[in-house]
Each structure stands twice: as C-alpha cells, then as structure tokens.
Structure 1
Amino acid sequence: MASPPTIERFFRLIRAVLAYEEQCREPFEGVVECDETMFGGRRPGKRGWGAAGKVIVLGILKRNGQVRVFPVQGRSGAEIISLVRAHTRPGSLYYTDDWHAYASLAVRGDHIVVRKEGGRPKGRAHINGIEGFWSYAKHWLYPYRGVPRKFFHLYLGEVSFRFNHRDEDLLPLVFQLMKRVSITEIEPILVRNS
C-alpha cells in the first residue's frame, strides 16, 4: 500500500497534467464572458474584495463552450486585461460586469456591460455562463476545505479540465494525457510560490 505522501504526489501530478493541457488551448473567439471571483473560506474581518487571504481568479468563458481560469495577484486592471487579451481573439463580443477595467475591451471588439440590480442582470444581457462555472468550481473544491496556495492553480486546472470535458468519459482522456505529457513539461507548473 502506498503512503499518504505518495498518493498526494500522484494526484498532484495528475492535476499538473490537466492544468498543463488547459494552458495549451487556443484563444477564444466569438461570444466571450469575463468575470473574476475570490476563492477562500470565511474569515473574520473585512469582506468582499478587501478580504485577506483569499485568491482572486479571473475566468474567461466562450459562451456555450469552454472556460479558462487564472489566479491573479490582485484585482489589477492591467493584469486582468492583459490575460483577457492574451486568451481571446480581437473582434470577439465581450460580456462583462461593470468593473471599470473592462472598459478598454471596446477597442478590441464589441463590449456589452451587464449591469445588475439586486444581484440580477438588468435587461437581456447576462454573464450566467461564467457565474455558473464559479458555482461549479466552488462546489467541486469545497470538500478539500483548504488548498495550499502553492498548489491552488493545479486544482483550478483540474476543475476547468473537468468542466471543459463534462460530456466525455474522463478516464481515457487522463490516461492519454499521462502517457503523452512528460514530467519535464509539467515541472515548471508543479509549484507556484506566489
């Protein structure tokens, strides 16, 4: 029987392969939803975007399709917009909330701002796809009751891989990836110090 650290290392390697595969996706085009959220348990003190110890994650979802997620250092508009630009093609139709940093997307393509009233979108425009993914991801990660920050990106990679292949049998896909991807390819992403 394998020891707990060996089992943990095995699953970490699988998560790294899945996260690596998610990084290799082509940029999205067409109708795209962008949003950011925070992951982390309840803590005493300040709530919302000022809460300490939480991880901010940007999500980009191709409507009725796949998702890409990125942990970000802070809610810096420049960092988030650079990620959106790197992972979407010019001419896309962007749906975002009314955070001011997204305003520059109008130069890159069409941009629709979804305004909310009482937590619900006003009008027909929505970002329900990415918000549904946030619910899926948080539900999936809840049983872990805390993921070390240095491995959090691997768990996000696993969740996005599961979401992107939700209509497929995952076992053969994971076996194929484990055979195809070498340890030298995933070593750079195994641990993040920030």
Structure 2
Amino acid sequence: MPEHAPPSVPELDQMEHDALDFFRTYEEDIQLILRNPRLLMEGEEWKNFTALIAYLDSALAKSTLPRETLLFRGMGREIAGSFLFMLDMKAEKGEGGVFTDLIPHIIRDPGYTILSTDPETILQELPGDEWETRVVFACLGRPGDTAIVLDEEAGEVLYPRNANWVTTGATTVLIDQTPVVVIGIEMAGCGEEIA
C-alpha cells in the first residue's frame, strides 16, 4: 500500500547540499533556464549554471524512493484546458467519468519534475472557480525511482530533469462539489544532457 511520506534524504556532499538549497530558493529561475536554455547560453553564467545542474543531477543520482509513494502535481490554469483538448477529453461536471481508453501521450519537461505526497496542498493551489477546469496528475512512485526530498514538511519530491511521463488513464472526481480531472502518469525515462 502506498505511503504518503517522502523518501529519506541520502548522504550528500556539501556542493550537492548547496545546489539543493540554491534550487529551493531559485527554483522558478532554474526551471525557466532549463526550459529555455538560450536565455543564458551566451552569457558568462552558463558555466556556473551547468555546474549547478551537475551537482543537482549528482544529488538525485544518489537518492531513490525506498517504498511505494503516491505522488501528485497540479496543472496550472494556463494549460489545463489545452492539455485536456490534446488528450481528447472533456472536463466532466459530475463524478466518475473514467477514461481508460485514453490514448497514451508522452509529456516531456526539460526541467525537473516536482511532485507532492500531499494531495490537499495540490488541490489548494488549483483554480477555485467552478467554471475553471481543475487537473491533477497522479503517479505511483515505485521503490528505486530516482528522486530526492526537496521539502519534507510540504512533502515535495524532486524527480530528474528531462523526464518523459506517459499518461495511463484518467477519471473525474468531485472534491467539495468541484470536478477535478485526475490523470494517471508513469515515468518512461529521463536525464539527457542540457542543450
């Protein structure tokens, strides 16, 4: 049975700890550069940035999930509707619309993937208006998955960059009278070099 607790932190060297601390502080900026490397490639900071990424990758390589862990990630309002359209799904108004015949799609993010063990936190960050589509990814983290605790209190778990995630199915559930589309995903590989 999956547990809702993040994995333990492995033994890391000081540079890896520093890289994780830096990531915690500047996550949005780091993710933006990984997703758009041309923003920094020509600058003199590129060498330092690639060193930071190497230490983050090294820290991740030393850490694996010790047990099954149910993980979640919310989808921002900017792309939720477009994503459901791409999957050929409609947001259901009621509960229980199961889409087992969902054609698998690969989702690739050049940045790191942050998932949470706490579904309540994810739901609080989703749009609250009933006319907006609320979408959550759900993933069963397996023992041996490469991942590291980013924030133990918030239950945040960091997965490697350049991860390929495959959609496996979807359902609609009612949470506080608001429909939420839950899309199942599984990791299908990761970790190529940056630009």
The two structures share one fold, judged by TM-score above 0.5: no
Structure with more of its chain in helix, by fraction: 1
TM superposition score normalised by structure 2:
0.28
Structure with more of its chain in strand, by fraction: 2
TM superposition score normalised by structure 1:
0.29
